[in-house]
């Protein structure tokens, strides 16, 4: 398809702003309508990134020439490595661009050089300037790229560009915070990904795993050399030695850690990237002995003796991973609470029934417990792997009606019941063995409707429509009346025409 039209570029124009490229470097006046807001931060943000880029370029070229024939050509060809990071492709990249055969540490340095330039390009992603506020997620993202170049520069060049970069960001006014620098330190710096943070994440996770396996997190791989965990009721103590490998830079480092869980969200841990194996073994022997003797004070004191005063806690983890671990802790606490509530509910079930029959008011505390237990039963019914007994759902419905118990989370149960119905429809086999399943689905849909639920059934409707298309086209006939009655009942509940 050869070109048939000639196109000319209208310089400094843009598809999305009448002010052209000013949208990406100045307070052009365009925004999403926030009263009193301005975009005066755009110019100092671009100037800060330009300064960082111009500082990096000569450092990259100087260091790159030590290892590479043409550092900039290698930078341009780095895309081939980004698309395929296999060992073979890495070897071919170095054969093509290296001045000489390099050691593993030198290869790590070169890969970090490539990453410096990659992130120096990424930090100019256009959405960082397009929107209204420097503390928004788009600008935070490009500043994460900038922070990555700063961190790599510290490792490769031994220069600290952070203070000056922060100073320049302080000139960028924010509509929400004091300045771009404040936003940077609050929103961007905590997202830093380092080998030590990956190892820290593994250390905390190991408290809640019976046999923690090798961990993949982001572009890092953790390999366990030693791990042990001791539990004494709620408190737990874990210690280990592991290596963290970066699939990007091929850097690798060994860490030793020990972490203590005291219940709820209370986690105290220490980590070291320089502790010798013999020292770790000695530390572990002392701390594990103290923990088994229930002397938690000695455990904490011994950890400080070997690791120093720096500690980590749940707040040290990456945001998403922190949420996962807190959810695991919460589920454990809720399981214990549910068990207690269920015991109270079961022990007083007959008495609550008697009060209801006598038209006497139920204690508010009992009603709250009944609400918790019956809602939990309803969730459990729909989360079971196999079809639950319909009498269980009937009992839950009757008890909720008897004691005027409301459904706590309609959205959740609409979703769960809809998922359950779809899961069972997906299991339907076109033979007589499906009759029980078809009847079960229809009865469940009737019951949840009576309970005030409105499950999401559009996927179930689509699936059922496909399953029964042969009947609508008179290509199939029902095996017997029982089969036809079951399918007709389900079709009615799903509002799908069967014939």
**HEC per residue, 340-354:** HHHHHHHHCHHHHHH
Q: How far is CA 254 from CA 102, 152, 203, 260, in A?
A: 22, 19, 13, 20
Q: What is the pLDDT of residue 432?
A: 56
Instruction: Give the mean pLDDT of 212-241.
Output: 88
| Residue 173 near residue 40 (C-beta atoms within 8 A) | yes
Phi, psi of 160, deg, nearest 5:
-105, 100
What whole-number distance in Å separates Cα of residue 186 and Cα of residue 199? 23
Cβ neighbors of 66 (< 8 A, separation 6 or more) are 99
Sheet with 252-263: strands ordered across = 215-217, 220-231, 236-246, 252-263, 266-272
Residue-wise pLDDT tens digits, 338-396: 788 888 888 888 888 888 788 888 888 888 888 989 999 999 999 988 888 999 999 99
The DSSP secondary structure of 162-192, one letter per residue, reads HHHHHHHHTTS--SSSS-HHHHIIIIIGGG-
Q: What is the pLDDT of residue 246?
A: 94
Domain boundaries, the chain: 20-191, 195-319, 348-494
What whole-number distance in Å separates Cα of residue 331 and Cα of residue 376? 13
Terminal alpha carbon distance of the chain? 50
| Structure-model confidence comparison of residues 176 and 314, the more confident one | 176
Q: What is the pLDDT of residue 430?
A: 63
What is the SS3 assignment for 70? Answer: coil
Residue-wise pLDDT tens digits, 250-305: 999 999 999 999 887 889 999 999 999 999 999 999 999 999 999 999 999 999 99
Cβ neighbors of 461 (< 8 A, separation 6 or more) are 494, 495, 496
Instruction: Give the mean pLDDT of 37-54.
Output: 96
Q: Indicate yes or no: pTM above 0.75.
A: no
Q: How confident is the model at residue 169 (pLDDT cuts 50, 70, 90)?
A: very high
Percent pLDDT > 70 in the chain is 98
Instruction: Give the mean pLDDT of 50-55.
Output: 98
Percent pLDDT > 90 in the chain is 66
Mean pLDDT for all residues in the chain: 91
Q: How confident is the model at residue 324 (pLDDT cuts 50, 70, 90)?
A: confident
Q: How confident is the model at residue 431 (pLDDT cuts 50, 70, 90)?
A: low
Task: Reply yes or no on whether the pLDDT at 233 is more than 90.
Answer: no
Q: What is the pLDDT of residue 108?
A: 96
């Amino acid at each position: 398809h050869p070109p048939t039209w000639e196109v000319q570029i209208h310089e400094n124009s843009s598809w999305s702003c009448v002010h052209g490229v000013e949208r990406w470097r100045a307070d052009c006046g365009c925004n999403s309508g926030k009263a009193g807001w301005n975009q005066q931060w755009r110019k100092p943000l671009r100037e800060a990134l330009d300064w960082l880029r111009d500082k990096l370029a000569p450092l990259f070229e100087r260091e790159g020439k030590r290892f590479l024939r043409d550092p900039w050509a290698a930078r341009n060809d780095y895309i081939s490595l980004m698309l395929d990071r296999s060992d073979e492709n890495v070897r071919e990249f170095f054969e093509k661009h290296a001045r000489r055969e390099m050691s593993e540490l030198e290869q790590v340095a070169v890969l970090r050089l490539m990453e410096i330039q990659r992130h120096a390009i990424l930090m100019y992603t256009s959405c960082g300037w397009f929107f209204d506020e420097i503390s928004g997620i788009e600008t935070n993202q490009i500043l994460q790229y900038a922070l990555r170049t700063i961190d790599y520069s510290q490792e490769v060049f031994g220069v600290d560009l952070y203070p000056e970069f922060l100073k320049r960001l302080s000139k960028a006014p924010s509509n929400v915070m004091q300045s771009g620098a404040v936003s940077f330190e609050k929103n961007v710096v905590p997202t830093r990904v380092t080998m030590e943070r990956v190892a820290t994440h593994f250390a905390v996770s190991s408290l809640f795993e019976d046999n923690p396996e090798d961990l993949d997190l982001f572009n890092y791989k953790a390999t366990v050399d030693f791990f042990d965990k001791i539990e004494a009721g709620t408190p737990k103590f874990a210690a280990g030695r592991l290596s963290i490998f970066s699939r990007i830079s091929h850097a690798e480092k060994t860490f030793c850690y020990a972490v203590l869980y005291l219940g709820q969200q209370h986690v105290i841990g220490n980590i070291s990237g320089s502790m010798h194996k013999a020292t770790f073994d000695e530390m572990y022997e002392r701390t594990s002995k103290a923990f088994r003797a229930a002397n938690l004070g000695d455990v904490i004191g011994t950890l400080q003796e070997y690791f120093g005063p720096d500690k980590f806690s749940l707040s040290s983890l990456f945001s998403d991973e922190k949420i996962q671990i807190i959810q695991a802790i919460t589920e454990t606490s809720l399981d214990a609470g549910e068990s207690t509530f269920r015991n109270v509910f079961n022990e007083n079930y007959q008495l609550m029934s008697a009060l209801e029959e006598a038209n006497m008011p139920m204690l508010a505390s009992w009603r709250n417990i009944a609400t918790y237990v019956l809602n939990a039963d309803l969730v459990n019914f729909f989360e079971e792997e196999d079809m639950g007994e319909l009498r269980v759902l009937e009992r839950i419905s009757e008890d909720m009606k008897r004691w005027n118990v409301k459904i706590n989370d309609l959205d959740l149960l609409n979703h769960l019941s809809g998922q359950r119905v779809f899961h069972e429809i997906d299991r339907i086999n076109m033979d007589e063995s499906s009759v029980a399943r078809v009847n079960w689905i229809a009865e469940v849909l009737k019951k949840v409707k009576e309970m005030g639920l409105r499950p999401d059934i559009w996927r179930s409707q689509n699936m059922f429509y496909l399953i029964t298309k042969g009947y609508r086209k008179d290509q199939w006939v029902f095996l017997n009346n029982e089969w036809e009655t079951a399918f007709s009942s389900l079709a009615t509940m799903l509002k799908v025409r069967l014939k």
